[in-house]
Structure 1
Amino acid sequence: MTKSISKLAWAFLILGIITLVFFLSKSSIDGFGVFTSNKTDYTTTGQFGDFVGGVIGTFFALAGTLLIYLSFKAQTKENKRNAFESSFFEMMRIYRENINELRYRKYKLDDYLVYENRQVIREIFNEFIECYREVRKFSNSTKTEDYLTPKYIEKLKKIKKDINPKINLIELARIDIAYSIVFYGIGVEGESIIRKNIQKKYNSVYYYKLLYWMKMKPKKSNTERYDNWKKARDLNLKDLHKLVDELYANRNHPEKIEQLSDLAKEFKMNLDYEKYYGGHQFRLGHFFRHLFQSYKYLNNHKDLTEKEKYAYGKMYRAQLSTYEQALLFINSISTIGMKWEFTPEKQSDPSIKTNLITTYNLIKNLPGEHLFGIRYKTYYKDVEYESLEQLK
């Protein structure tokens, strides 16, 4: 539109100049002059002025009007860009502040250590990997219906069809539950939220016992109980399920331990203890909400081209460390964060893209091809991964 108006303005200007040159040339050839007998012929000059002002001047006036309009439009666009950049860079600043404010005190290496800033994200991601491995070991069935309700299976199949037919629904379920445990924790409040969120999605027989197994894991500072938990973790799968079934059946009367096996008695489930997975909702909730709103603000901006949006998105992505991208990847394929791409918010404007992870290559810098067996390309096949570019 702007190019068309600019071309039209220049066309009027050139047409006016050509008309003026033609008129002057024709007048000279016809012997028609403005000045005669060393005196000004005001009749002639008046007619000449009327022609120039009425015809040629119109072309110049139209050209000037269009150029003024373009200048005003450019100024308006620049003002909007300045307003956008002011808000966008403020969002980036707040993101860095959110990272810098993170603190996490954790028992490790026989002492309490305090993690700060990006170290916290790394520790949370490592906890997810721990939890994922434990969930994967406990979840040994290869039948989808042993994990998911029929209604939720159909919903995930639609996502699978839209995203990638290679997605394994059992793997997706394990990731979702493991991340929910790390995110909310399995204290009284956290477990209540998890149960509410997954009771219509997952097979209750499966996830009730799984959550009970994960609750059995204490903080490492509780050395005796943690040693017992490691013994249970190292059991073969059949004996592990037998132990969990035994303790789960006795959960309403944990003080009655006479009929329990020796290992089950050692857990002393009637005593209070701090759970290993205490939850990180108060850390990650605000962190991911702000990051999502930042990209949503960028993506929905109508005065930027797709190329400009990507340039700003790339600038923001540069603020994300490898662990931040890894945790974003896990968050986005869990039910907590599927609005990033799998189940996006509806847009009133169909031209606005809704696949934020892919559009802005937000996990571009993840190393290798997978995270402990979870392949990025299975879930985001169109992301231009840096690791794959290096192989070309």
Structure 2
Amino acid sequence: MNQKSNYKIEIYIGLIGLIIIHLFFIPQAFRGEVIDAEKASKFGSFIGGYVGTLFALISVILLYKTLKDQKEASEIEKFENRFFLLLSLHKNNTEEIILEKENGKKTFVHFIREFRSVFKKVCQEFDNSTPIKDKINISYLFFFYGTGYNSRRILKSELSNYDEIKIDKIIKELSKDRKQDKENGKKRKFKYYGGHQSRLGHYYRHLFQTVKYVHNKQLNIDKKEYVKILRAQLSNHEQAIFALNSLSSIGREWNELGLINEYEMIKNIPNEFFNPNNEFDLKTLFPKITFEFEE
């Protein structure tokens, strides 16, 4: 903002004041009458008091605005301090995700591989009459809870709306695969189908609370810019698992509150990261998001 703009209000006030003061004298001048000095003096006193009061009011308004701006600046500073603390905690949460000898962002590469393995099994049992979102939900719940003895009860409860016979068959197939891997000495970075709720549960709860914290703040800020900073911390594989999480019953709040679309949390996933021929088309599932590959 230039200097001229800074003084715009003061200039307007000055001009209006001059117009008001001289408005009473101009008609007299045009009629050729002599201005009464005593009346002019009294009128001047009146104008002085009036203008003084007016400027006092303006001073109060400007003081109020200054205090309001200072308060807002303080609130923004508090918000940013907490936001960057939450961002730091998110980084720590990511680093604390461990799979055997690997940790952090590398683990999400293996998560995607495991999900794809589960998704393939689910598609073998559920034909094309089953909506793709349901197949993703079933697959993600298998991936998240696993087929272990204790997790199985939770898994079956979450999948109670689906064909129980088919669900039991998938559990049996995945459990058999785990056993065969062990017997054949097949080396993987970690045991498939054991579940990841202990690894990802807290990770996604914290991520959700961070975005919700920004979303709910009633401040004069560009919320999307702050969430963009958060999104920049997520690798492509993290965003891919995030997309799957949001499509599942576990992550339904992301869609119910419209956060996934409003802040385009997964826009950096590359084109055809998921094969549209034998997996699914990400753009069809998230039509409101403008992905990076579309720009």
- Taking the aligned partners of 1:13 and 1:299, their CA distance within structure 2 comes to 43
Match of 1:64 in 2: 59
- Taking the aligned partners of 2:225 and 2:212, their CA distance within structure 1 comes to 15
Shift of 1:224: 3.0
TM-score by length of 2: 0.83
Match of 2:177 in 1: 217
1:380 to 274, 279, 286: 286
- Taking the aligned partners of 1:72 and 1:7, their CA distance within structure 2 comes to 21
Shift of 1:367: 0.5
- Taking the aligned partners of 2:79 and 2:48, their CA distance within structure 1 comes to 44
**TM-superposition CA deviations, 1:13-63 (whole Å, max 9, x none):** 542344356679999995777xxxxxxxxx999847632432221221222
- Taking the aligned partners of 1:326 and 1:97, their CA distance within structure 2 comes to 20
**TM-superposition CA deviations, 1:277-310 (whole Å, max 9, x none):** 11111110011001111111111112235xx111
**Is residue 189 from structure 1 mapped to residue 189 from structure 2 by the alignment?**
no
> Which segment is superposed worse, 95-104 or 51-60?
51-60
Match of 1:134 in 2: 121
Match of 1:123 in 2: 110
- Taking the aligned partners of 2:43 and 2:129, their CA distance within structure 1 comes to 94
Shift of 1:356: 0.8
Structure 1 residues 87 and 52 mapped into 2: Cα distance closer, same or farther (>3 Å)? Answer: same
Contact 2:231 2:265 in 1 (8 A): yes
Contact 2:121 2:170 in 1 (8 A): no
Contact 1:16 1:60 in 2 (8 A): no
Equivalences for 1:200-349 in 2 at 5 Å?
201-218=161-178, 222-224=182-184, 276-304=192-220, 308-341=222-255, 344=256
Contact 1:217 1:275 in 2 (8 A): no
1:367 to 258, 270, 273: 270
TM-score by length of 1: 0.64
Q: Which amino acid aligns with 1:333?
A: L
List gaps (5 residues or longer) in structure 1.
1-5, 34-42, 106-113, 145-168, 228-273, 345-353
Q: Which amino acid aligns with 2:252?
A: M
Structure 1 residues 203 and 83 mapped into 2: Cα distance closer, same or farther (>3 Å)? Answer: same
Structure 1 residues 30 and 128 mapped into 2: Cα distance closer, same or farther (>3 Å)? Answer: farther
Give the length in aligned residue pairs.
281
**TM-superposition CA deviations, 1:94-140 (whole Å, max 9, x none):** 111111222211xxxxxxxx112111122112211121122223x15
Structure 1 residues 183 and 277 mapped into 2: Cα distance closer, same or farther (>3 Å)? Answer: same
Divergent runs of 4+, >4 A: 6-14, 20-33, 43-49
Shift of 1:332: 0.5
Task: State the secondary structure of the residue aligned to 1:371.
Answer: coil
What RMSD over aligned residues (CA atoms) do the two structures have, in Å? 3.1
Match of 2:76 in 1: 81
Structure 1 residues 334 and 9 mapped into 2: Cα distance closer, same or farther (>3 Å)? Answer: farther
Structure 1 residues 375 and 142 mapped into 2: Cα distance closer, same or farther (>3 Å)? Answer: closer
Match of 1:101 in 2: 96
Structure (1 or 2) with the greater helix fraction: 2
2:261 to 358, 364, 380: 358
- Taking the aligned partners of 2:126 and 2:164, their CA distance within structure 1 comes to 16
- Taking the aligned partners of 1:360 and 1:66, their CA distance within structure 2 comes to 37
Structure 1 residues 290 and 202 mapped into 2: Cα distance closer, same or farther (>3 Å)? Answer: same
Match of 2:4 in 1: none
Contact 1:340 1:355 in 2 (8 A): yes
Structure 1 residues 226 and 117 mapped into 2: Cα distance closer, same or farther (>3 Å)? Answer: closer
